[in-house]
Amino acid sequence: MPTSTPMHERQIELTEGDLAALVADQFPQWGELPVRRVRSDGTDNALFRLGDELVARCPLLGDDPAEKLRQLRAEADAAGTIRQATRVPTPEFVDLGRPGPGCPLPWAVYRWIPGTTATAADVSDSVGLAEDVARFVLEVRAIDPRGRTFQGTRRGGLLTRHDEYVADGLKAGADMIDTGALARLWERLRETPRTEPDGWTHGDLMPGNLLVDGDRLAGVLDVGQAGVADPALDLQPAWNFFGPNARTAYRRALEVDDAAWDRGKGWAFAQAIGCLAYYRTTNPVMSGIARSTLLALLADEQR
């Protein structure tokens, strides 16, 4: 069933029946597979299991099928690049679906990766997990960018380009957290210098995208933001998930200097402040992660 309260204006509400009809029409070889919606705290796609081995990722937003198709093809290319470079399971692209009844945009099918999300596991202070995630990040960073640089409009370029977005988030969240202290922190972080060139990043290392087995990394999901960007972007787990001991281990494993560490704080800040109030009622898990991220940043600043 679609979510009872949409997270976004003009959100596409696709049902299990809608997707089953699309699959039967476009992929008759999978037409007999059961279709089950996957409960997820993600904000960009509705997820549906197709049998036991496949998952459909159906965009929640967008009004340009051609542009969405370009994005899905870029995501599939990034998925292949990361799969070849890393040791833990990551998304494996299978095929693209076309728009149809109930679904005005193209959609994608990937292999299902089993595991428990870090959001659902009590592993935030696992040094072993922090070291595993750092190893994944180093493997992604080792991918040759082939001269490419950041070309996006979301996180990953210059912190100063997010001033308006941050200001809007601070205004919206004024009744939820000490936005005065956060504004002062942003003023410091946004000016952090950088000398490193752009490199490959996952770009969205939220706890819901980390799969664990016990307290070790078992997979990494969602490469929708993967690409060439500021390497400090993948420092976000230090603030959006890890506790103090794991945070220290993560920094040590990645050999992060002070400037990169502060840029990582800046990217974690920019992501969190935009989610804090926006998802307060429609996605409380995402809003809660945003609040805990910002509180961790403030606590570290006080130290």
- 42-57 pLDDT per residue, tens: 788 899 999 999 999 9
Cα separation, 253 vs 132, whole angstroms: 9
- Residues 289-302: what's their mean pLDDT? 94
Cα separation, 197 vs 146, whole angstroms: 12
Question: What pTM, to 2 d.p., does this model score?
Answer: 0.92
Q: How confident is the model at residue 2 (pLDDT cuts 50, 70, 90)?
A: very low
Structure tokens at 11: 């959100």
What's the confidence (pLDDT) of residue 7?
78
- Residues 153-172: what's their mean pLDDT? 93
Q: Which tens digit of pLDDT belongs to each residue from 204-224?
A: 999 999 999 999 999 999 998
Please tell me the least confidently modeled range out of 10-14, 92-96, 194-198, 215-219.
Answer: 10-14
CATH of domain 16-111: 3.30.200.20
Q: What percent of the chain has pLDDT over 70?
A: 99
Q: What percent of the chain has pLDDT over 90?
A: 83
Q: Which tens digit of pLDDT belongs to each residue from 129-139?
A: 999 999 999 99
Helices (H), the chain: 16-26, 65-85, 127-141, 163-172, 179-189, 237-240, 244-254, 258-276, 284-302
Q: Choose between 253 and 193: higher pLDDT.
A: 253
Please tell me the least confidently modeled range out of 105-109, 128-132, 157-161.
Answer: 157-161
Q: Please state which of the four CATH numbers 3.20.20.10, 3.10.450.50, 3.40.50.300, 3.90.1200.10 is assigned to the domain occupying 116-302.
A: 3.90.1200.10
Residue 232: pLDDT over 60: yes
Q: Which tens digit of pLDDT belongs to each residue from 60-75?
A: 888 899 999 999 999 9
Domain ranges in the chain?
A: 16-111, 116-302
Domain 16-111 shares a fold with domain 116-302? no
Structure tokens at 79: 């998925």
Instruction: Please report, for residues 63, 78, 123, 130, 149, the alpha-carbon distance to residue 152 in angstroms, rounded to integers and kept in the order given.
Output: 19, 14, 32, 28, 9
